Structure 1
C-alpha cells in the first residue's frame, strides 16, 4: 500500500507561487525516553513509529502522545521495517544484547508482539496475504535454513511453522543477503494442502497443522508449477525436459497420462479461463483437457520463436519473439489458424483489446484487427522506450507519452489521436522511468526528479527538473529498469510500472482506482479482520476503510519534494508541497537538518520530521 512516500535524495527546486504557512500540530522531545531517535516510520493505522537506544515506541500522529513503548526493542534495524498491507501490523528485526537476531511482527495499535522468532536467528523475508484462507504466509530464513509460517487472521497468532531445509546454491544465498524470498512458485492452496515450489523442490504441507505430506526434488529448475481445481491436479514442467508430469496434490502420486509428452521444451502452462490448460512449448502450444488429462488438439499450433500465448474471448493469441522479427497469430478454439503475420522488432508487450491485438515492439506499435490481422491505425507508432501510460476516466481513453509525443487511444474503437508532437520535458530521455497520472483534467508526468503537466489538448503547462544536491555513496545498485528487469536482453528502457498500468486498464481494475475525488469522505470496507464468537457470529477486530487506507497518490492534487535552496552562502532545506496541475509551491516546511529523517503522510496531508535525532514534529499542511 503506497500510502507513505519516502524520499532518498534531496531535490533542488526553484519556482514561484503563493506559499502558505503550515500548521505545527505538535512537537515531542524524545531524548529522555529514547536518548537518541535513530529513525521514524509510519504504521498503517497512522501512528508514528520511532526507534532509539532505549527501545521502540509509537506516537499518536494527531496529538504526539506516546501510545506505547517497548524498552526491550533497542536499535531496531530500519531496513527491516515493513508494513503489512491493509493491516495495523508491521515486521522488524532487532538483536538483543544477549542473544541472536530476532524477527518480530508487531501490532501497531498496542505494541504487542504477535510473532517472535525468538533465538533462532531468523529473518522474515516475504509474506503472502491470503484472505480466502484467513491467513498470512511468511517466509523465514535463518543461517541458511528455510521455514514458512502460517499466521491466522482470525486469532492473530501463529498456527504453525514448517521446515523446508537448507538454502542451496550461491545465487540463492546472494538473493537471501539482498532480502529476496525463496518461494518461486505459489504458494498454492488446495482445499487441504499448501504447496510451495522452490528452485528445484516441491513441498506439500497439511494446511491445518503444517505437517509435511510429501516432497520431491526435480533434476533441474522448475519452469512451471500449476494447480487446476478443475480436476484437482498439479502440473509440473522442468526446464529442458520433454516430459510434463501430473501429480495428486494430496499424496504426490504421479498420475501423468501416457500420451502427455512434450515435443519440445516447456515454456509455460496457463489456465485459459475456459476450462482448459494451455501448454506452451518450443514446438507449439496445445490445450489439455482436465477431465482426460490429454491434449484436445491432434496437432499443436506452431509458430517460429514461440514465447507467449494469450487467451482471449475469441481464441488465442500466439506470439513469437526475436530481436529482428516477432511472428504473431490468431488461433481459434479448435487449434486452427485465423491469420498470422510478422511484426518488425521484438514484441515486448501485447494486449488484447476490443478492436484487436495491441502490441509494442522495439521497431513499431499498432493494433492488429482480429478478423484479418490488418493494422487498425493508419500509421505506426515507434516508442524508443516504454511509454508513460495513464487512463483519462472522463474521456474514457488511454494516454501514452514517450519521446516528446503524446497520444490518446479509444479502447472501444481503437481510434488513435496524437495530441502532442516533439514537446520537451526537462531532462527526460529514453532512460528516464517516467510515469503518468490523470489529474484535474490533465496529465501529470513524473519521477522522483521530474514534474511535468500537460492539458488534455497536449499543451505543456509546466515542466521542471529537480537536481539532487547530494547523493548517497557506498550503496550497491540492485534495481533494473526497462526490459532488463524481466531478464530480456533488448535495448528498451523505461518504467515497467507502465506495462502493469496497461494490464490493469485491460482488466478494468484501473478504472475504479482513478474514479475517486480528492477529499472524498466516503468510507467503504476494503479489508476486515474478524474473530469468531461462541455463538457462531463474527466480531470485527480491525477494519480498514477506503477513506484512511486507500492508495491516495492517485487521488491527491499535490506532490511532495525536498529541496536545498542555496542563498547567501547558506543551504537551508525545505519540504515543499507542489500543486501537480500548476507546478506552484503552496506549502513549505523549513528543516533544521541538511539530511533529516522524515515521513510524508499523503492521507492526512501531514509531515513528520525527526530532527537532531531527538525532536519529532508533526505538521498539518
Structure 2
C-alpha cells in the first residue's frame, strides 16, 4: 500500500469536479471537536486524532469503527504503521502523567501494549515471521530496551535492557540503534550488535545470557551455523575474534591474526567466510577456522569483495583511480583492470563485471577483464533505472541521454540524445518506471515525463510544489556522505537498489509500480498458531488491499500550487495519466490548513476540512 499525507495552505474555493465524486461525509465536531490529523492503517481504516480522542473510520462508508476518548491530541509525528499488520503505534501525553506510547490493534482499537509511566518510545522494529514475533527497539531517555511482542498472543513477552545510547541523533530520530542482527544461534537465543557491544538474549525469557564489549566499534558480526561460531570484526583491529555464541567465550585461534586492519567479514556462496582487511583478503574455512590460502590476495584501496561462481571480484576504490580484479578460488589473480574515478557501483552480470564510477562506466568480461562496450558510458549522476518487459532490456536515463542495456548480451545502445525535460537538471533525483505499451516514465514528486522507446519525448511536465522541497534534493549526496564518500555525486540512491535487483535477475520487485504490487511479500504468507492451536491469518486483509492497488497503476497523484496574476494562489491535487500526461481529474484544496490522505489502494481521497469535516471522494 502506498499513501501520502499532505498538508498545504490554500483559500476556501470549490471546483465542480470535487463534489461530483463524493462518496461519504462525516462531521467529527461532536466526536473530536477539532481533527488535528488523519492517517490510514494497514487494514484501510482512517485514523483521526482530535482534541477529544483518537478514532478509526471505515474508509468505504465513513462509519466510526472505534473511539478512545482518553487518547487526546496524539502526536502526529509519533504515528507508525507496523508493516503488513493491523497494528499502529502512537504517543500522547495525558492531562495528568507522563508521555505514554501505545501499540493499538487498528481493526478494533484494543490496546496491545502501553508504556504507562515508563516513558518508553518505540524507535524501530523487526518483524520475524518464522519466529512469530516482532522485536521492538525502545528508548527510555538514553537507556536502550528491546521488547519481544508475540504474534501468537498479541501481547508483550518480555523487555530486555541493552545499555545506554549515546548521541542526539540516536535519541531524537527513529533510526535503528541495532547495527548487526538479529541472529538466532543454535540455542534459539537472539544475538545483537550495537556499536561496540554484543548482547545475547534468551528468546523465551528476555534475560541477557551474555554480553561482550569491544574497545572500538564492531564493523562486522557474522554468525556461522556450520561451526556454531560468532565472528567479530572490530574497527582497526589487528585480529579477527571468534566467540562461542552460547556463552561469549573467546575461542579465537592464533592463526586468524591480521596483517592490516579489518574492513569486513561476510559469507561467500560456499559457506565459507570472506575476510577483507586493508592488506588484502582471504577465505576462512569455518570447519577448521583456518585460512584457505597461504597468502592473502592484495589490491590497493581494497574496499569490497563479491563472491561469484567464477571466483571473487575484488574492488579497490579511490577518488582518482581504483581497480577491479577477478581472483580464482585458490587466491590467484585472473585479471586486473584499472578504473578511472571512484567506483560507487560494481556488480556481476552474465557477460562480466558492470561498474559505474564518477568518470566512466563499462562491463569487464570474465575472461580477460576487457571492456565489453566499445565506448565508455559516462554518467554524471546516478542514472534513473527501469526494465522494459517487452524488449527484455534495462533502461538507463541520465544527463539527457537514454540507454538500453541487454543484460544477456552485455551490449548497450544509446537510443535517446539531447532529451529536454521540463525543469530537470543534473541534480534532479529522477526515478524511472516502465509503462506497458507506451515507454518510460521519468519522474520525481513534481516531475512527470514520458520517453518513448524510439527516444521521442511524448510529454514533459513540471508541477510547482505546494511547499519547498529543497531539503530533499540532495538525498544521494547525503547517503554517500554517511557512507564515507566525500565528493559530489547526484541522483537518487534508490536507482542503485533497482540496478542491483535487475543485475541479479529480479526484474520485478515489491516496489515496482508496473505490477501495482507484489503478492510475494514475506508478510503475505504469515499465518500463526493461536493459543487454541488454530492457524490464524494475521494479515489476510492487508494482502487483499495490496492486490487492489493494480487499479491505479496508470495514474500518478501530484499536489501542486497554481499562481494567478490577479487572484490568490490555488492548490490542486492532479490525477495525471501516465500514458498521456493528461490531468484526468483535478481537485482543488479547500481549507486554510487542510489535511489530505490519498489512498492509492482503493483509489480515493479522504479530506479533513475545517478541522472537523471528513469527506471521501472517488478519484
Q: Which runs of structure 2 are paired with 1:307-456 in the superposition (5 Å)? A: 307-441=303-437, 442-456=439-453
The one of 83, 86, 93 aligned to 1:85: 83
The one of 536, 545, 562 aligned to 1:539: 536
After superposition, the Cα gap between the structure-2 partners of 1:594 and 1:473, relative to the gap in structure 1 and judged at 3 Å, is farther
Q: Secondary structure at the match of 2:540?
A: strand
CA apart distance, 1:222 = 1.0
Q: Secondary structure at the match of 2:170?
A: helix
Q: Is 1:291 equivalent to 2:290 in the alignment? A: no
Q: Secondary structure at the match of 1:526?
A: helix
Partner in structure 1 of residue 494 of structure 2:
497
CA apart distance, 1:564 = 3.0
Q: Is 1:279 equivalent to 2:275 in the alignment? A: yes
CA apart distance, 1:551 = 9.7
Partner in structure 2 of residue 3 of structure 1:
2
CA contact (8 A) 1:223 1:238 kept: yes
CA apart distance, 1:549 = 2.1
After superposition, the Cα gap between the structure-2 partners of 1:350 and 1:472, relative to the gap in structure 1 and judged at 3 Å, is closer
Q: Is 1:548 equivalent to 2:560 in the alignment? A: no
CA contact (8 A) 1:9 1:468 kept: no
- Which stretch shows the higher mean deviation, 511-520 or 295-304? 511-520
Partner in structure 2 of residue 241 of structure 1:
237
Partner in structure 2 of residue 132 of structure 1:
130
The one of 57, 60, 75 aligned to 1:59: 57
After superposition, the Cα gap between the structure-2 partners of 1:480 and 1:611, relative to the gap in structure 1 and judged at 3 Å, is farther
Partner in structure 1 of residue 23 of structure 2:
25
CA apart distance, 1:565 = 2.9
Q: Is 1:175 equivalent to 2:152 in the alignment? A: no
Q: Is 1:463 equivalent to 2:482 in the alignment? A: no
Q: Which runs of structure 2 are paired with 1:230-269 in the superposition (5 Å)? A: 230-269=226-265
CA apart distance, 1:346 = 0.5
Aligned partners of 1:474, 1:439: CA distance in 2, in Å?
Answer: 29
Aligned partners of 2:364, 2:471: CA distance in 1, in Å?
Answer: 48
After superposition, the Cα gap between the structure-2 partners of 1:129 and 1:100, relative to the gap in structure 1 and judged at 3 Å, is same
After superposition, the Cα gap between the structure-2 partners of 1:28 and 1:249, relative to the gap in structure 1 and judged at 3 Å, is same
Q: Secondary structure at the match of 1:259?
A: helix
Aligned partners of 1:226, 1:551: CA distance in 2, in Å?
Answer: 40
CA apart distance, 1:56 = 0.4
CA apart distance, 1:506 = 2.6
The one of 568, 588, 591 aligned to 1:590: 588
- Which stretch shows the higher mean deviation, 235-244 or 477-486? 477-486
CA contact (8 A) 2:56 2:67 kept: yes
CA apart distance, 1:131 = 0.9
Aligned partners of 1:217, 1:288: CA distance in 2, in Å?
Answer: 24
Deviations 1:497-532 (A, max 9, x none): 000111122333343658887789999982334233
Q: Secondary structure at the match of 1:176?
A: helix
CA contact (8 A) 2:43 2:542 kept: no
Aligned partners of 2:476, 2:548: CA distance in 1, in Å?
Answer: 23
Partner in structure 2 of residue 302 of structure 1:
298
Partner in structure 1 of residue 181 of structure 2:
186
- Which stretch shows the higher mean deviation, 282-291 or 570-579? 570-579
Aligned partners of 1:280, 1:107: CA distance in 2, in Å?
Answer: 46
CA apart distance, 1:553 = 8.3
Aligned partners of 1:520, 1:223: CA distance in 2, in Å?
Answer: 35
Partner in structure 1 of residue 571 of structure 2:
573
Aligned partners of 1:545, 1:444: CA distance in 2, in Å?
Answer: 28
After superposition, the Cα gap between the structure-2 partners of 1:244 and 1:359, relative to the gap in structure 1 and judged at 3 Å, is same
Aligned partners of 1:55, 1:10: CA distance in 2, in Å?
Answer: 25
Could you say what the CA RMSD is over the residues aligned between the two structures, in angstroms? 2.6
CA apart distance, 1:48 = 0.4
- Which stretch shows the higher mean deviation, 390-399 or 569-578? 569-578
CA contact (8 A) 1:289 1:296 kept: yes
Deviations 1:287-327 (A, max 9, x none): 10010011111111110000000111111100000011111
After superposition, the Cα gap between the structure-2 partners of 1:400 and 1:618, relative to the gap in structure 1 and judged at 3 Å, is same
CA contact (8 A) 1:122 1:142 kept: yes
Q: Is 1:486 equivalent to 2:490 in the alignment? A: no
CA contact (8 A) 2:552 2:601 kept: no
Q: Secondary structure at the match of 1:207?
A: coil
CA apart distance, 1:533 = 5.2
Q: Secondary structure at the match of 2:147?
A: strand
Partner in structure 2 of residue 15 of structure 1:
none
Aligned partners of 2:343, 2:528: CA distance in 1, in Å?
Answer: 46
Q: Secondary structure at the match of 2:490?
A: coil
- Which stretch shows the higher mean deviation, 74-83 or 552-561? 552-561
TM-score where L is the length of structure 1: 0.93
Aligned partners of 1:540, 1:113: CA distance in 2, in Å?
Answer: 20
CA contact (8 A) 1:346 1:362 kept: yes
Aligned partners of 1:471, 1:149: CA distance in 2, in Å?
Answer: 38
Q: Secondary structure at the match of 2:524?
A: strand
Aligned partners of 1:26, 1:555: CA distance in 2, in Å?
Answer: 21
Q: Secondary structure at the match of 1:509?
A: coil
CA contact (8 A) 1:393 1:511 kept: no
CA contact (8 A) 2:527 2:535 kept: no
Aligned partners of 1:558, 1:448: CA distance in 2, in Å?
Answer: 13
After superposition, the Cα gap between the structure-2 partners of 1:514 and 1:131, relative to the gap in structure 1 and judged at 3 Å, is closer
CA contact (8 A) 1:482 1:492 kept: no
Q: Is 1:36 equivalent to 2:31 in the alignment? A: no
- Which stretch shows the higher mean deviation, 87-96 or 463-472? 463-472
Specify every segment of 5 or more residues in structure 1 that has no aligned partner in the other structure, as ranges.
12-17
Aligned partners of 2:97, 2:477: CA distance in 1, in Å?
Answer: 37
CA contact (8 A) 2:153 2:531 kept: no
CA apart distance, 1:537 = 4.3
CA contact (8 A) 1:260 1:295 kept: yes
Aligned partners of 2:516, 2:257: CA distance in 1, in Å?
Answer: 58
